[in-house]
C-alpha cells in the first residue's frame, strides 16, 4: 500500500511547486487527489507571497486523467453530474487563481490530464511529453474544458480533428501549435520551468492578476467589452503602490521591487 500523500507542495522564494504524486498510476486523478488539488490552489490563490505556481507530475507522466479503476473499485454513490463536478472544482480553482500557473509537463497529459494542462496559463513540455484528448477512444467527449481551450488555442478545424481522432500532440507539434511556451530535454524541464516562474515572480502581481482576468474574459463579448475591462483594471493599477514603485525604479534606473500593494 502506498502511504505517500497524493499531492506535494514545495516553496522556493515566491514560487510554489505543486506536484501530482501518484506515479504508479501516471498521476491519475482519484477523489483524494482531486480534493487536495482544489484545496491547494484555493489556498495558494490567497497567499500574497506566492507570485508564480508550477504544476507538474511525479514519475513518467504528467497526468493520465481520471482514475477509472479506482472509481469502479471504490464507488462513490455520486451521480454522473456530481462526479464530473468534482473534476470541475479543480479546473475552477486553477482558472480563478489570480497567480500565473505554469504547467510543467514531464510526460503524457491525457484525457482530463490534457484539460488540466490546457487550463494552465503557460506550459513547458519535456521533449518526451505529449497532450492527448483521448476521450473518444472509450466513447466519450472531453469534460474538462477541452472543447473550449483547443479551438481558441489552435483553431476550430485543428481542434475538431484532434478531438474527433484523439490525436496525440507531441512536444514539438505542441510548440508549433502554440500549446507549449517552451520545450526542454527531460533532465532540464524543472530548471526551464523554474527559470520562467522566477522571471514571472519578479513582476507586478496586481498587474498580472488583472492581465490574466482580462485575457480569460476576452473570449466573450466584443473589443468594446475588452476596453471596458482594461479601463477598470488599469484604473485600479494606477492607484497602486506597485505602479509608483515601477515609475520610481524606471526614473532611478534600477530593477523595481513589486510588493503586490
Is 259 contained in some domain?
no
The count of structural domains within the chain is 2
Q: How many CB atoms lie within 10 A of CB 14?
A: 19
CA distance 46 to 238: 22
> Could you tell me the three cell numbers for 26?
501516471
79 and 180 within one domain: yes
158 and 222 within one domain: no
CA distance 109 to 26: 9
39 and 145 within one domain: yes
168 and 77 within one domain: yes
Q: Residue 96: CB partners within 8 Å, gap ≥ 6?
A: 45
165 and 228 within one domain: no
Is 256 contained in some domain?
no
Range of the domain at 54: 7-201
| Tens digit of pLDDT at every position of the chain (261 positions) | 467 999 999 999 999 999 999 999 999 999 999 999 999 999 999 999 999 999 999 999 999 999 977 766 665 677 888 888 999 999 999 999 999 999 999 999 999 999 999 999 999 999 999 999 999 998 999 999 999 999 999 999 999 999 999 999 999 999 999 999 999 999 999 999 999 999 999 999 999 999 999 998 888 888 788 888 888 888 988 899 999 999 999 899 999 999 999
Give the residue from 159, 185, 201 where a domain finishes. Answer: 201
173 and 52 within one domain: yes
CA distance 123 to 184: 11
175 and 115 within one domain: yes
Is 149 contained in some domain?
yes
197 and 88 within one domain: yes
Quick one: pLDDT at residue 2?
63
Is 1 contained in some domain?
no
243 and 160 within one domain: no
Is 144 contained in some domain?
yes
List the CATH number of the domain containing 24. 3.90.226.10
Confirm if 246 and 258 have CB atoms less than 8 A apart.
Answer: yes
pTM of the model: 0.92
Is 258 contained in some domain?
no
Cell 522571471 locates to 199
- Answer positive or negative: Cα dihedral of 202, 101, 62, 136: negative
223 and 157 within one domain: no
Q: Where are the beta strands (DSSP E) in the chain?
A: 7-12, 15-20, 52-57, 61-63, 101-105, 108-110, 122-126, 130-132, 168-170, 182-184
Is 2 contained in some domain?
no
17 and 131 within one domain: yes
Is 257 contained in some domain?
no
165 and 235 within one domain: no
CA distance 114 to 87: 13
Amino acid at each position: 500500500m502506498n502511504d505517500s500523500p497524493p499531492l506535494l507542495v514545495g516553496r522556493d522564494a515566491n514560487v510554489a511547486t505543486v506536484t501530482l504524486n501518484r506515479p504508479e498510476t501516471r498521476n491519475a486523478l482519484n477523489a483524494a487527489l482531486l480534493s487536495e488539488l482544489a484545496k491547494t490552489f484555493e489556498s495558494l490563490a490567497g497567499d500574497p507571497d506566492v507570485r508564480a505556481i508550477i504544476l507538474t507530475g511525479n514519475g513518467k507522466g504528467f497526468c493520465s486523467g481520471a482514475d477509472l479503476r479506482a472509481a469502479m473499485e471504490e464507488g462513490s454513490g455520486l451521480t454522473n453530474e456530481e462526479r464530473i463536478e468534482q473534476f470541475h472544482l479543480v479546473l475552477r480553482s486553477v482558472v480563478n487563481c489570480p497567480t500565473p500557473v505554469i504547467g510543467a509537463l514531464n510526460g503524457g497529459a491525457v484525457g482530463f490530464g490534457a484539460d488540466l494542462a490546457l487550463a494552465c496559463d503557460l506550459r513547458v513540455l519535456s521533449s518526451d511529453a505529449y497532450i492527448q484528448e483521448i476521450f473518444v477512444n472509450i466513447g466519450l467527449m472531453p469534460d474538462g474544458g477541452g472543447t473550449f481551450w483547443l479551438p481558441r488555442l489552435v483553431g476550430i478545424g485543428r481542434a475538431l480533428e484532434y478531438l474527433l481522432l484523439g490525436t496525440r500532440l507531441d512536444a514539438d507539434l505542441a510548440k508549433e501549435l502554440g500549446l507549449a511556451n517552451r520545450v526542454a530535454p527531460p533532465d532540464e524541464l524543472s530548471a526551464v520551468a523554474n527559470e520562467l516562474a522566477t522571471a514571472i515572480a519578479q513582476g507586478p502581481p496586481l498587474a498580472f492578476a488583472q492581465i490574466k482576468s482580462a485575457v480569460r474574459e476576452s473570449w466573450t463579448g466584443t473589443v468594446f467589452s475588452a476596453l471596458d475591462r482594461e479601463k477598470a483594471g488599469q484604473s485600479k493599477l494606477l492607484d497602486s503602490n506597485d505602479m509608483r514603485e515601477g515609475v520610481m525604479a524606471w526614473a532611478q534606473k534600477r530593477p523595481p521591487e513589486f510588493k503586490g500593494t
